[in-house]
Amino acid sequence: MISFLDLKSINQACREELIEACTRVIDSGWYIGGSELQQFESSYAEYCGTKHCIGVANGLDALVLVIRAWKELGYLSEGDEILVPSNTYIASILAISENGLTPVLVEPDLATLNICPINAEKAITSKTKAILPVHLYGRLADMPALMALAERHGLLVLEDSAQSHGASIDGKKAGNWGHASGFSFYPGKNLGALGDAGAVTTNDDLLAATLRALRNYGSHEKYKNLYLGVNSRLDEIQAACLSVKLKYLDEQTSHRRLIANLYTNTITNTVIKLPVNACFSPLQNTSHVWHVYTVLCDDREALQQHLLENGIQTLIHYPIPPHFQPAYIDLAHYSYPISEKIHKQILSLPMGPSLSLTDAEAVAHACNTFVVRQIQ
């Protein structure tokens, strides 16, 4: 069986270093908010090219806490609207609802599957205060266009970079485009911890200080509480493991790109629509980090079944659009045809730093032998 993502073998590759990192923390006697966190925060800020990195407990908290901090700073209020792509993972939208703000879903561009700046501009009302673009599947949203749009309308931009560690446009990385960005280090993400972890990156000093207080009960100084904060901390063991794994991120991304190129060059079956190798303009140099390699197919269920019969595990990111989720019943009366089409057709092929090129070739070959069984 060719598995979708082999996490065990990914972590086996740096097993000794991970054990050494955990041992160092165990022996230090210091488990929360110490030098491992500081070290990781400064390396990850440097990696993204930002002034600050603030470690938190997970990716959802990273997004929730930025919006919360903007409320504390008086930039946002309950009832304000935030634009978010209609085909994103639910966590992006939850971060808005959790803060009592209103998510306004915006249809993606069918070529890139990322939020469409033109649709975003059309969705702006007098209540719109921010845009939350999601760099879905590892491809940066059209940040030059979105930042220009935000500037024209005086909007804040919070990037959801949970799937795009290291992706860039013209050399500027995910996490360094917006006013702030949320990252997840969930084990299956491109940079994954051995448990839950997340971070915010920003170049804004005041936001960074507010986040450092909010993640720690709202305390900016021991036993003094400025805000009704939360407990959302990135612990020393996870930080130490992340520092190990960060060293291998670029190498692993290169491998993901090899696999993606192999799929793109080898899959010739015309019933399978491959992701575009899109640049937004000839001047832009975009680099995708292939968190997942998604294809679109009219008969997605049959394709998934065919691959399974060939010993290939695939996943669907995501089977149900957010506005059809019972949790978002109040969005159910809206129609998002592009998003609905994507959710019906999308399929993710095996992808990851430990997937061999031989296995990837077998996946591509199996895609090529797929035939649509019934033509109406």
Ligand X SMILES: *Cc1c(COP(=O)(O)O)cnc(C)c1O
Dihedral over alpha carbons 4, 163, 134, 293 (to 10 degrees): -40
The torsion defined by the Cα of 34, 11, 7 and 358, in degrees rounded to 10, comes to 150
Helix (H) or strand (E) holding 119: helix 117-122
Q: Pick between residue 66 and residue 364 the one whose CB is nearest to ligand X.
A: 66
Does position 240 interact with ligand X (CB under 6 A)? The reply is: no
Task: Determine the residue with CB nearest ligand X.
Answer: 59
Binding window for ligand X (CB under 6 A); candidates: 31-39, 119-127, 160-168, 336-344: 160-168
Q: Which stretch binds ligand X (CB under 6 A): 16-24, 159-167, 225-233, 294-302?
A: 159-167
Instruction: Name the residue among 33, 150, 135 with its Cα closest to residue 85.
Output: 135
Kindly state whether residue 89 participates in binding ligand X, applying the rule CB under 6 A: yes
Taking CB under 6 A as the binding criterion, the range among 39-47, 52-60, 248-256, 294-302 that sits at the site for ligand X is 52-60
The answer for residues whose C-beta is within 8 angstroms of residue 124's C-beta and 6 or more apart is 83, 153, 155
Binding flag, residue 160, ligand X (CB under 6 A): yes
In the complex with ligand X, the residue whose CB is nearer, 181 or 184, is: 184
Instruction: Give the binding range for ligand X (CB under 6 A) out of 84-92, 110-118, 233-241, 269-277.
Output: 84-92
Angstrom CA distances, 45 to 2, 38, 161, 189, stand at: 35, 11, 14, 18
- Closest approach, Cβ 322 to ligand X, in A, equals 11
Q: Which two tokens stand for residue 351?
A: 């992808």
Q: Which of 10, 157, 162, 234 binds ligand X (CB under 6 A)?
A: 162
Assess 91 for contact with ligand X (CB under 6 A). Answer: yes
Based on CB atoms, which residue is closest to ligand X, 226 or 338?
338
Q: How many CA atoms lie within 13 A of 187 on its CB side?
A: 9
Residue 36 interacting with ligand X (CB under 6 A): no
Neighbouring residues of 198: CB distance < 8 A, sequence distance ≥ 6: 55, 56, 57, 58, 59, 60, 61, 62, 162, 182, 183, 184, 185, 186, 234
Residue 186 vs 370, nearer CB to ligand X: 186
**Local structure of 241: helix, strand or coil:** helix
Identify which of residues 59 and 350 has a Cβ nearer to ligand X in the complex: 59
The answer to whether the CB of 314 falls within 8 A of the CB of 349 is yes
Whichever of 189 and 306 has its CB closer to ligand X, that residue is 189
Length of the chain counted residue by residue: 376
* Positions in 106-135 near ligand X (CB under 6 A): 134
Total residues in contact with ligand X, by rule CB under 6 A: 15
Query: Residue 222 Cβ, how far from ligand X at the closest point, in Å?
Result: 28
Nearer to ligand X, 57 or 124 (CB): 57
**253 bridge partner residues:** none
Place of tokens 């696999």: 259
DSSP track, 282-334: TT--EE---SSEEEEETTHHHHHHHHHHTTB--B-S-SS-GGGSGGGGGGTTS
**Helix, strand, coil percentages, rounded to 5, for the chain:** 40, 20, 40
Among 176, 184, 201, 216, binds ligand X (CB under 6 A): 184
Which of 50, 92, 243, 314 is in the footprint of ligand X by CB under 6 A?
A: 92
Task: Out of 99, 163, 269, 287, name the contact with ligand X by CB under 6 A.
Answer: 163
Closer Cβ to ligand X, 80 or 196, answer by number: 196
Nearest residue (CB) to ligand X, 14 versus 90: 90
Residues that bind ligand X in the complex, under the rule CB under 6 A? 58-60, 88-89, 91-92, 134, 160, 162-163, 184, 186, 196, 198
